[in-house]
């Protein structure tokens, strides 16, 4: 298959980007992970091998517990790693970031949520806008974590709630109540669906949680009526091609349904999801779409344009970045032929 030249790769790197589906903890820098785990992750993690695939979601979760979660055991751990995490993301010319923080890791700590999130955001580069989401599993509403969820739903420091974890678990009543409270506070909520749970899981979060952003949504393509609804209601799917490949949601990037969904009128963005677990940042996803799924530069720019159009930014800031994207996108070297 044709490969991009170094100049073409640099061109994709230079495009101004948004990231709207990224788990904060899984953006742990490789150097920090290697410092903790030593030879197990040197010279690079074994799960970065090009042909590596996770056996299933349980396998992926175990690798997360082994190599990611140990680095995030206190609010101080988060703050110590925030600067390197944000700088690693910014290095791919990400100028706007929506990142989900997995607060179950801090359940045993007594901390001020608003102060913690303010301190976390202060570690970001000045030229990268950051919106922080609070992510929770479907069975998370217990003990101290229930109080954290209640606080997050109404906190001014939280951009919205994000439901993640095992998609096949039933939605418990607390999720509908918390997402409704958050929505009443003017927040834009999300939910992971359509990855392992199938198209029905997407329909469920649309109906019961009233989200207008779905994290993944890949398997929406299995239900034509759902695809039509997503397009009609302008629901955004924040998609992660390399993640879907590594987790066996799609067998190849060439068979990924992203183009089919876009051609059906569904608004989609491209994101990296879990860089330390998949060996990618957003530029790698864009390169993979061009080299393996034969996306053209105009198609890549159109995907990035949706990200900027959906970003929680003042209109003038959004327009400035859209102008920069169009200007840079029009002078990039051509992609390799199909």
pLDDT, position 270 = 98
Domains of the chain: 6-321 (3.20.20.140)
7 tagged catalytic: no
Q: What's the pLDDT score for residue 335?
A: 52
Neighbours of 308 (CB within 10 A): 23
E strands, the chain, are: 17-23, 94-102, 129-137, 160-164, 190-193, 213-216, 236-239, 267-270
Catalytic residue among 19, 25, 98, 195: 195
Distance CA 141, CA 147 (A): 8
Question: pLDDT tens track of the chain, all 338 residues?
Answer: 579 999 999 999 999 999 999 999 999 999 999 999 999 999 999 999 999 999 999 999 999 999 999 999 999 999 999 999 999 999 999 999 999 999 999 999 999 999 999 999 999 999 999 999 999 999 999 999 999 999 999 999 999 999 999 998 999 999 999 999 999 999 999 999 999 999 999 999 999 999 989 999 999 999 999 999 999 999 999 999 999 999 999 999 999 999 999 999 999 999 999 999 999 999 999 999 999 999 999 999 999 999 999 999 999 999 999 999 999 987 655 555 55
């Amino acid at each position: 298959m044709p490969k991009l030249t170094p100049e073409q790769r640099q061109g994709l790197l230079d495009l101004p980007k948004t990231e709207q589906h990224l788990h904060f903890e899984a953006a742990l820098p490789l150097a920090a992970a290697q410092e903790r785990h030593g030879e197990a992750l040197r010279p690079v993690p074994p799960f970065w091998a090009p042909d590596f695939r996770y056996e299933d979601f349980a396998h992926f979760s175990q690798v997360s517990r082994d190599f990611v979660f140990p680095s995030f055991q206190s609010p101080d751990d988060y703050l110590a790693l925030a600067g390197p995490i944000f700088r690693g993301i910014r290095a791919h010319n990400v100028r706007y970031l929506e990142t989900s923080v997995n607060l179950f890791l801090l359940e045993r700590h007594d901390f001020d949520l608003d102060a913690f999130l303010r301190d976390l955001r202060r570690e970001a580069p000045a030229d990268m806008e950051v919106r922080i989401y609070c992510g929770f599993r479907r069975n998370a509403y217990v003990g101290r974590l229930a109080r954290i969820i209640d606080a997050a739903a109404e906190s001014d420091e939280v951009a919205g709630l994000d439901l993640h974890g095992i998609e096949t678990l039933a939605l418990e009543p607390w999720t509908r109540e918390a997402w409704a409270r958050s929505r009443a506070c003017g927040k834009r909520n999300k939910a992971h669906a359509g990855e392992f749970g199938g198209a029905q899981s997407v329909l469920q979060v649309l109906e019961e949680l009233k989200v207008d952003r779905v994290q993944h949504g890949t398997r929406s393509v299995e239900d034509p009526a759902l695809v039509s609804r997503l397009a009609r209601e302008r629901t955004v799917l924040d998609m992660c091609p390399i993640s879907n490949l590594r987790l066996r949601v799609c067998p190849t990037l060439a068979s990924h349904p992203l183009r089919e969904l876009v051609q059906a009128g569904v608004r989609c963005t491209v994101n990296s999801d879990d860089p330390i677990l998949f060996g990618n940042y957003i530029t790698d996803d864009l390169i993979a779409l061009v080299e393996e799924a034969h996306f053209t530069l105009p198609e890549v720019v159109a995907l990035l344009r949706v990200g900027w159009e959906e970003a929680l930014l003042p209109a003038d800031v959004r327009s400035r970045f859209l102008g920069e994207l169009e200007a840079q996108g029009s002078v990039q070297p051509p992609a390799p032929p199909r």
